[in-house]
Amino acid sequence: MTTRLLASAAALALIAGSAEAFTLDVLHVNDFHSRIEPINAFDSTCPAADDAAGKCFGGVARLATMINGLRGEIRSAGGNVLVLDAGDPYQGSLYYTTYKGKAEAEFMQAIGFDAMAVGNHEFDDGPEGLANLLDIVTFPVISSNLDVSQSNVLAGRIAKHAVLEVGGRKVGIVSALTRDTIEIASPGPTVIFQEEIEALRAAVADLEGQGVNVILALTHVGLPADLEIAARVAGVDAVIGGHSHTYLSASNPARHGAYPTWVTQDDGTAVPVVQAYAYGKYVGHLTLEFDDAGRLLHAGGDTMLVDASVAPDPAIAARVAELGGPIEELKARVVATTAAPIDGSRDNCRARECEMGNLVADAILARAAGQGVQIVFQNGGGLRASIDAGEVTMGEVLAVLPFQNTLATFQLTGAGVLAALENGVSDVESGAGRFPQVAGLSYAFDPAAPKGARVSEVNVREGDAWVPLDPARVYGVAANNFMRAGGDGYRVFATEAVNPYDFGPDLADVLAEYLAANAPFAPALDGRIRVK
């Protein structure tokens, strides 16, 4: 299937107008990742003083104000509006660590979302973790490609699609969750993943059989897969996505792409695709106009920055403060200082050597070297924030490493180390979280080479020297317990590790102690990972 992307201007009038147009405004967010409090420019928790100075973004109280304000304006003007979440409200702050999804669910319910796609992080604590949200929210939580009929906690609670009544019209919502969830989260054996395209086609056919002719795909598969869905799933009028944290923008399309990005199907049907970055920093506002037969006439809109000009909703802010009370003391504790900002950005840590990757991997190596560990792997997707210069609080450390992963040690042959590296760079083009940040190891990779043959020039540090990796030699290796169990595709760690021990200290504590011992910490890149 060849997908042709259209300029937005070329798609302003897709079909000749009809006598009875139906306009639908869609407000949407994705990948909120528990950023319940305001965030700074690095997408981590913003200090109260900076928030008071107008330097912060997002936070659920500002998000509530923006969504409620826009929804009210649209309805007051006689318009039709839906508020949708494309998945991953979970994981990324102490609110999730403390309340395991119940806080995020409470705020989504208070804001009044109309539907939500299941994201991969909703399975970080197994099916039971997702059930925490389902116990609270009253709006539909859907995924067309999940079969949860065998789960004793989810059966009958995740629908394949939803039908919402808006302005006298039926609007269908279908959804898909990336099948990588099996590797990057913990859905367990009772949650069955189906192929996304076929599952969406079946859900669309079901809705069309019910007479629904306006259908939106609310997905958590990432932008490349969203473009494929838009090209190959007939009957979908728009794709509202998440997972890849892509900032699509009408006002700034040069950054990651246009809002909307248009895809043309084989029959000439044009389908708009949108996404709104992550962390509640933006709200997407998509306007769709349909004729009375459900054909899309026009689509437009943009992502809107949730900055300090948006006043926090006072009731939501008060509830945030109440829930934050038990964890405020821990968050505020200063553990170290830094001489410069430490870059932990998603774009860098999932594609190349990054400062935060070096720091975390070095911290693990320093902690485990006495156990014979020579090589450390840290998945880029496990690094969730940057740290700014100056004092470092435990809250900032936990924002970087929020998953409560533990240090895992084991022995592995050099051949296994090479296989792990190949897995790590196998999906770098899509920004996959498996990208390997390392310590005690250096390597080069060619992202244009065939998968499985991208890695070269692998060396291991021995004393002050670098020596070539020996495929037959057994090395001491450390990673986090998620990777050691095969997460992010590191099956070689699960199947070939010798003498594994997965119950070391929490990585957040390891990082905090390393920062304290090396304060003021000066981040650096040293060429341990080279892109050819």
Q: pLDDT tens across 447-488, in order? A: 999 999 999 999 999 999 999 999 999 999 999 999 999 999
Report residue 9 as tokens: 């201007």
pLDDT tens per residue across span 121-132: 999 999 999 999
pLDDT exceeds cutoff 60 at 72: yes
Q: What CA–CA distance (Å, rounded) separates 7 from 276? A: 19
Residue 330 lies in a domain: no
Residue 217 lies in a domain: yes
Q: What percent of the chain has pLDDT over 90?
A: 87
Q: Quick one: pLDDT at residue 12?
A: 41
Q: Within this chain, do residues 305 and 339 fall inside the same structural domain, yes or no?
A: no
Cβ 151 vs Cβ 122: under 8 Å: no
pLDDT tens per residue across span 113-123: 999 999 999 99
Domain-terminating residue out of 255, 290, 320: 320
The residues pairing with 39 across neighbouring beta strands, listed in sequence order, are: 45, 57
Q: How confident is the model at residue 5 (pLDDT cuts 50, 70, 90)?
A: very low
Cβ 186 vs Cβ 124: under 8 Å: yes
First to last CA, the chain: 30
15 or 193, higher pLDDT: 193
Helix (H), strand (E) at residue 491: helix 491-496
CATH number at residue 95: 3.60.21.10
Q: What CA–CA distance (Å, rounded) separates 8 from 28? A: 19
Mean pLDDT of the chain, nearest integer: 94
Q: Within this chain, do residues 253 and 387 fall inside the same structural domain, yes or no?
A: no
pTM of the model: 0.80
Peptide bond connecting 520 to the previous residue in cis, omega within 30 degrees of 0: yes
* Cα–Cα nearest to 7, from 294, 263, 279: 263
Q: Within this chain, do residues 382 and 468 fall inside the same structural domain, yes or no?
A: yes
Q: Quick one: pLDDT at residue 502?
A: 85
**Other C-beta atoms lying within 10 Å of the C-beta of residue 257:** 19
Q: Within this chain, do residues 444 and 363 fall inside the same structural domain, yes or no?
A: yes
Domain-terminating residue out of 287, 320, 353: 320
Residue 389 lies in a domain: yes
Helix (H), strand (E) at residue 431: none
What is the pLDDT averaged over residues 262-275? 98
Q: Quick one: pLDDT at residue 45?
A: 83
The residues pairing with 305 across neighbouring beta strands, listed in sequence order, are: 282
Q: Within this chain, do residues 481 and 400 fall inside the same structural domain, yes or no?
A: yes
Q: Within this chain, do residues 451 and 416 fall inside the same structural domain, yes or no?
A: yes
Pairing of strands 270-274, 238-240: parallel
Residue whose tokens read 């395209």:
197
Q: Quick one: pLDDT at residue 47?
A: 83
Q: How confident is the model at residue 402 (pLDDT cuts 50, 70, 90)?
A: confident
pLDDT exceeds cutoff 60 at 77: yes
Q: What CA–CA distance (Å, rounded) separates 107 from 331? A: 21
Residue 237 lies in a domain: yes
Q: Within this chain, do residues 368 and 238 fall inside the same structural domain, yes or no?
A: no
Q: Which residues of 288-309 are buried (b: 16+ CB within 10 A; e: fewer)?
A: bbbbeebbbbbbbbbbbbbbbe
Q: Within this chain, do residues 309 and 372 fall inside the same structural domain, yes or no?
A: no
Report residue 419 as tokens: 């296989």
Q: Within this chain, do residues 425 and 313 fall inside the same structural domain, yes or no?
A: no
Q: Within this chain, do residues 176 and 215 fall inside the same structural domain, yes or no?
A: yes
Q: Within this chain, do residues 213 and 362 fall inside the same structural domain, yes or no?
A: no
* Cα–Cα nearest to 141, from 210, 197, 85: 85
Cβ 63 vs Cβ 280: under 8 Å: yes
Count of structural domains within the chain: 2
Give the CA-trace dihedral at 512, 514, 519, 522, to 10 degrees.
-110
Within 13 A of 316's CA, how many CA atoms are on the CB side? 27
Cβ 377 vs Cβ 424: under 8 Å: yes
Residue 327 lies in a domain: no
* Cα–Cα nearest to 89, from 129, 58, 119: 119
CATH number at residue 352: 3.90.780.10
* φ/ψ (deg, to 5) at 319: -70, -35
- The percent of the chain in helix, strand and coil, each rounded to the nearest 5, is 30, 25, 40
Report residue 87 as tokens: 């998945």
Domain of residue 231, residue span: 4-320
Tally of residues, the chain? 532
Q: Within this chain, do residues 226 and 367 fall inside the same structural domain, yes or no?
A: no
